[in-house]
Amino acid sequence: MRIKRAIFFFALFVVLGGSLFVLLKHNKFVPTELRKAEQEVYSALIFPKASNYGSEYVYNIDIDELKILEYTNFDGDPAEEKNDVVTSNHYIFLGLPPSFRGCQISAANSAGYLIDFDMDKYSGLQKETWADLQEKNQIAYPLEEYLLSTDGITFINPSTGKQGDSWVSFSRIGFNWLLTQALVQVVDCRGDLCYDSAGSFMYCRGYYVFLQRIDGKWMFENMEEAWLVEAPSP
């Protein structure tokens, strides 16, 4: 009788413990685990020479000094608001935080396109990863808070009007509940219009980068272009 009772309570403990674990994973990441995952993914993105990605740089520019927006930057999906702006005769905004929206160009003097997000292009991507990306990027955050190291990085803020020729930005990272996959948007902007609306040229592209954690290491699975804006129109 005692053995049966012990087995019953053990089984009950396992069921309740497993349910609690799943509930916690579905509703809240363990902060220390989340921060560690964020630091690891950003390190792989910023210094991809140490990763499995096939290009020297994820964002396709080879520069001596890496300039990164000091706040996270996301051009969300669906892009209804941006489509409205593009098809109007006002301005194209690049999905930058409000303080960066000096980065704008006349729709009449630009060219570009948007690509709707297609989960079928990302084999194995879970819906909660995509949902987490959108939820985390409702507002901008200081990127430095999520980096393991800032060596070799110069943080910039285009709203200051500082002239330059390029910058890279990163969104907050979307994760699945088990922190085994990550989705992030990377933006590569070149030209003086990236800093100042009075500039004359800009070529700016956004990408979604999908990574999975395999054997304890973040591995690049896929990268798809999300949008492109070029001014003046070629």
On whether the CB atoms of residues 209 and 194 are closer than 8 A, the answer is no
Per-residue pLDDT at 206: 85
Flag whether pLDDT at 136 surpasses 90.
Answer: yes
Query: Over the stretch 14-69, which tens digit does the pLDDT of each residue have?
Result: 545 554 444 444 455 789 999 999 999 998 888 765 444 444 444 444 444 678 88
What pLDDT shows up at residue 179?
A: 96
More confident residue, 118 or 198: 118
Q: Is the pLDDT of residue 12 over 80?
A: no
76-88: average pLDDT: 40
pLDDT at position 23 is: 43
Segment 102-119 mean pLDDT: 72
- Predicted confidence at residue 47, as pLDDT, reads 73
pLDDT reported for residue 100:
46
* pLDDT beyond 90 at 127: yes
Which of 40, 224, 228 is closest to 122 using CA atoms?
224
Per-residue pLDDT at 99 exceeds 60: no
Name the pTM for this structure.
0.76
Mean pLDDT over each residue of the chain, to the nearest integer: 74
For the ranges 47-61, 132-146, 163-177, 215-229, the lowest mean pLDDT is seen at 47-61
How many Cα atoms occupy the beta-carbon half-sphere of 127 within 13 Å?
Answer: 1
Indicate if the pLDDT at residue 140 is higher than 60: yes
Nearest Cα residue to 182 out of 44, 28, 31, 21: 44
Structure tokens at 190: 């070149």
**Residue 183: predicted pLDDT:** 97
Question: Which of 79-93, 94-108, 175-189 shows the lowest per-residue confidence on average (mean pLDDT)?
Answer: 79-93
Task: Write down how long the chain is.
Answer: 234
Encoded tokens for 87? 């098809």
214 band by pLDDT with thresholds 50, 70 and 90 = very high
Q: Among 156-165, 176-185, 203-212, whose mean pLDDT is lowest?
A: 156-165
C-alpha torsion angle, residues 113, 117, 121, 127 (rounded to 10): 170
- Residue 107, token pair as written in the block: 């729709």
Predicted confidence at residue 32, as pLDDT, reads 92
Lowest mean pLDDT among 52-66, 139-153, 166-180: 52-66
> Is residue 80's pLDDT more than 90?
no
